[in-house]
Amino acid sequence: MTSIVVITAGISQPSATRLLADRLAAAISRALGDLSTELSVEIIELREYARDLANNVVAGFPSPRLAAVIDRVTSADGLVAVTPIYTGSYSGLFKMFVDVLDPEALEGKPVLVAATAGTARHALVLEHAMRPLFSYLHTVVVPTAVFAATEDWASGGDLGDRIERAAEELARLLGPAAQQPANETAGQLDAEVIPFERLLAGQPASARA
C-alpha cells in the first residue's frame, strides 16, 4: 500500500488551493493506478487545525488531534504540499504547520509542491521559497512545481499538463519500479566485485608497474 497525504493551507470555502489539491490528488491516483500500485490518498485541510497549531506554537506540544495529523503526514510514503501565496511567500498557516514538525521527520520523503495566487507575478515563490524550504528538510522535491494563478483556471490546458507531469514524477518516485532497478543494480554489483589483490595477481608483471 502506497500512502499519499495532501496538505492544503487554503482558508476560504470554496478554496482555489483546495481545488488544486483535489486535482493533484486525482492525477496522482491515475498515475500510480497505471503502475498497478495499491494506493491511499488523504487530503488534510490545515484550516481545520489552525487553533491547534497556534496552541502548539505557544505551548510547545501538539493536541491529540494535531498529533494524529502530524503522524499521518510523517508516516506517508509521499507528500503533496499546496499553499496560497500571500505577500510574496507561502501562508503563515502553512509555515506554522511545517514549524511544528520534527526537522528530520520528512527526510528522504518525495514531495510535490504547489501554490495558488491571484496573479502570475507570484509564480517564482515555488522556486525561491517552497523548494528551498523542503530542501532544507532533506526531502526529495519533484522537478515540476505546480502554480495556478486566477487566469490559469480558465485556460485549463497548460495547468492541466503541469499537474499531470508533476503527478507522474511523484508516481515514478513511489511506484514499484522506483525500487526494483536499484535492487537489481545492487545485486549485480555484489556479484561482480572481485578483490583488488586477485585482479592484480592475475596481471602480467609489466601491467603491475
pLDDT for the residue numbered 190: 47
In the structure grid, which three cell numbers stand for residue 170, read together?
Answer: 511523484
pTM (2 d.p.): 0.82
Could you say which residues of the chain have pLDDT below 50? 179-191, 205-209
Taking a C-beta distance cutoff of 8 angstroms, is the pair 75, 3 a contact? Answer: yes
pLDDT for the residue numbered 14: 86
- Three-state secondary structure call for residue 69: helix
Tens digit of each residue's pLDDT (9 = 90 or more) over 38-66: 789 999 999 999 999 999 999 999 999 99
2-180, which class in CATH?
alpha beta
Distance, in Å, from the CA atom of 187 to the CA atom of 192, rounded to the nearest integer, reads 9
pLDDT for the residue numbered 45: 97
Distance, in Å, from the CA atom of 204 to the CA atom of 126, rounded to the nearest integer, reads 59
Domain map of the chain by residue range? 2-180
Taking a C-beta distance cutoff of 8 angstroms, is the pair 5, 42 a contact? Answer: yes
pLDDT for the residue numbered 188: 42
Taking a C-beta distance cutoff of 8 angstroms, is the pair 110, 78 a contact? Answer: yes
pLDDT for the residue numbered 38: 79
148's CB contacts (< 8 A; 6+ apart) are 16, 20, 114, 115, 116, 117, 159
